[in-house]
Amino acid sequence: MKKAILLLLLAIAFGCDKDDNTTTQALPPATQTGAGIFACKVNGKPFIDKSGSFNCFYQFVDGEYYFHITANDIVDDIDEITLYSSKIQLEEGGMYELKNYEDFSISGLVFMKNSFLNVSTTALLPGTLNITKLDLDNFIVSGTFNFQVINPITNQTIHITEGRFDSLFTQ
- CA distance readout (Å), 111 to 27, 55, 132: 21, 15, 25
pLDDT score for 24: 61
Question: Where do the structural domains in the chain lie, given as residue ranges?
Answer: 33-168
What sections of 91-164 are H helices per DSSP? none
Answer whether 125's CB lies under 8 Å from 168's CB: no
Helix (H) / strand (E) element for 105: namely strand 105-112
**What does the DSSP assignment read for 34-72?**
---EEEEEETTEEEE--SS--EEEEEEETTEEEEEEEEE
> So what's the pLDDT on residue 115?
82
At 32, the amino acid letter reads Q
> Alpha-carbon distance 40 to 166, whole Å?
12
Model confidence pLDDT, tens digit, residues 75-89:
988 999 999 999 999
Which residue type sits at 126? P
The confidence score (pLDDT) of residue 10 equals 35
| Cα three-residue angle 127-129-130, rounded to 5 degrees | 145
Cα atoms in the Cβ-side hemisphere of radius 13 Å centred on 92: 10
Q: What is the pTM of this model?
A: 0.83
List the chain residues with pLDDT less than 70.
Answer: 1-24
The whole-number pLDDT of residue 46 equals 98
